Amino acid sequence: MIRWLPNGLTLLRMALAPPVGYFLFRNDARAALPLLAAAALTDAADGWLARRLGAASSSGAYLDPLADKLLAATVFLALAAAGRLPWWLAALVLGRDLLILAFAAWALRFTRLRKFPPSVWGKLSTVAQFSLGVACVLELAAPAPWLTGAVRLLVGAAAAATAWSGLHYGWTAARMLRQATD
């Protein structure tokens, strides 16, 4: 009965993305912050619970990265539209994620590849992106010089991690395709 919980948390993260984006676009940090925190907690909890309960599923393996990408794209687009983040960073995050999804869709359709494991670099970029999103919301909620400095530092870290993970995913995809055709 409880085996549905990890996927339920993933679906909850997907459902939280639109209201988080709405409130961020409106510069309403008080409303966005608890929703963003809840979404981040579901990201940490769903995989842990799936392993702990022995409830890992193929649908969860596909839904979890989609939920992450939906939330990241929503947060970055809303923060860019609200003037809180540069548009180039939102484009980098969204572009990398769209390329990853496009490759996965293409590979599912035209090859025998069915597993697309996350890389340590992808996980690092997700942590950097979510940390930046939370720092931006905290800065909006309670402006402080140290938060402004943290946001500036995290913009660089998130950009570097996103770009590097995108290159790494591209290299990994090319290697996977070579192995699939050998």
Query: Which residue in the block uniquely carries the two structure tokens 């890992």?
Result: 56
Q: What is the pLDDT of residue 13?
A: 95
Q: What contacts 57, CB < 8 A, 6 or more positions away?
A: 6, 7, 50
If one counts the domains in the chain, the total is: 1
The amino acid at residue 47 is G
Q: Find the mean pLDDT for residues 97-108.
A: 86
Cα–Cα distance list, 3 to 14, 59, 104, 119 (Å): 19, 12, 26, 26
Task: Write the pLDDT tens digit of every residue in 105-136.
Answer: 888 888 887 777 788 999 899 889 989 998 99
Return the amino acid letter for 74: T
| Residue at token pair 């510069």 | 27
The percent of residues in the chain predicted with pLDDT above 70, rounded, is 99
pLDDT band at 182 (very low <50, low <70, confident <90, very high): low
Two structure tokens written together for 140: 């909006």
pLDDT at 31 (0 to 100): 95
pLDDT band at 1 (very low <50, low <70, confident <90, very high): low
- What's the pLDDT score for residue 23? 96
CATH of the domain at 69: 1.20.120.1760
Residues spanned by the domain of 32: 2-181
- Name which residue leads in pLDDT, 94 or 118: 94
Q: Is the pLDDT of residue 12 over 90?
A: yes
> pLDDT for 136-160, tens place per residue?
999 998 889 999 999 999 999 999 9
Burial class (CB in 10 A: 0-12, 13-18, 19+), 182: exposed
Whole-number pLDDT of residue 64: 87
Looking at residues 3-17, what average pLDDT do you find?
91
Secondary structure (3-state) at 131:
helix
Q: What pLDDT digit, counting tens, does each position of 24-55 carry?
A: 999 999 999 999 989 989 988 888 888 888 87
Mean pLDDT of all residues in 83-97: 95
Nearest to 166 by CA among 79, 45, 42, 72: 72
Write the single-letter amino acid at 175.
R
